[in-house]
Structure 1
């Protein structure tokens, strides 16, 4: 199914540690909470310096959509800006974020270790392939037109398109392409290294 997920329908909730607000874009299984998701994609606002919530057993990927974020994680300091691939790090690691020059909006992709994995890639006027068995979510960074399976979708900034039944999506505009593959799907996928007997 291909589903349009309008930004206007998201509900902001406090961070796990109460230090900011976040809004879920999509999760698996649908409607899962912070304790039972296999994967979760959300947008968060970082208005002041402070620690990020700890998520043991979770792998995270953070991309900045607005502003500049200085992130200290596991003894390393990096500065994340708009248009960069972002940073992957373990949710178990202590992390502190400092917005530089104003409030930051980021896209947070979380996968439960051993149950799912994700890749995150900025795309601009390109076709994005969806690997077999994977879920592809395209988050519009600005107004964009997406085409999949003969249908056309017009997205405003921060709207998203969730695709799990089409082999590819054509993007006219700028999006963040997030591919999520659950472990059962990974395990059952054909292994191209195997040779017929």
Structure 2
């Protein structure tokens, strides 16, 4: 069987950042890798990729900034900072999910259709779509999940704890343990509970 070609993201992390990645293997043998710093907290054995520790990269169009939490074959999970009304870059051949972390609402326009998103809400759209965001308050942070068609697919759902086969992104912080936008990776400790977006990549 021919090996599938790996499609790189235009804003993917540099080789230096990838060299600093840490890896995990779940029970199914999947390799988890993130271009950030992993904190294994002794009080509760969480395996975290903290958004604040990931490299800050400018958007391709210069209208925002992003931090890559996780990247795999044809897939990426990142957190963006939006400080002003801005268009999104087009990513032909990709499927995208935009989940608002807050603290304020935004209006997202996708191919002319407007939708107001409150913190914790999300919407999915094709990478070819014409997308723009309007802030309804101050600067906000948002989670972005992107997968390349033909190489990977993704699905998201709200979760109050671990979901089998999924990565968890915190929608709200939990004191000193983790902040909104942090990625929690397997193995998950028993009793883990909170407000999460569960992301399945297949």
Task: Describe the superposition over 1:148-188 as per-residue Cα deviations: whole angstroms up to 9, x where unpaired.
Answer: xxxxxx5343321233xx6998631111111110xxxxxxx
User: After the TM superposition, which residues 95-134 of structure 1 pair with which residues of structure 2 at under 5 Å, given as runs?
Assistant: 95-124=131-160, 126-130=161-165
- 2:48 aligned with 1:4: yes
Q: TM-score, normalised by structure 2?
A: 0.70
What does residue 186 of structure 1 align with?
Answer: none
- Larger relative strand fraction: 1
Aligned length: 156
What does residue 180 of structure 1 align with?
Answer: 201
| Unmatched tracts of structure 1, length 5 or more | 30-37, 131-135, 146-153, 182-197
Confirm or deny: 8 A CA contact 2:86 2:133 kept in the other structure.
yes
Displacement of 1:82: 1.2
User: After the TM superposition, which residues 24-173 of structure 1 pair with which residues of structure 2 at under 5 Å, given as runs?
Assistant: 24-29=68-73, 38-66=74-102, 67-84=104-121, 86-124=122-160, 126-130=161-165, 136-144=166-174, 154-163=177-186, 171-173=192-194
Are residues 140 and 88 of structure 1, via their aligned partners in 2, closer, same or farther at CA, if it must alter by over 3 Å? same
| Unmatched tracts of structure 2, length 5 or more | 1-24, 27-46
Confirm or deny: 8 A CA contact 1:45 1:103 kept in the other structure.
yes
Task: Please give the alpha-carbon distance, in whole angstroms, between the structure 1 residues aligned to 2:188 and 2:131.
Answer: 36
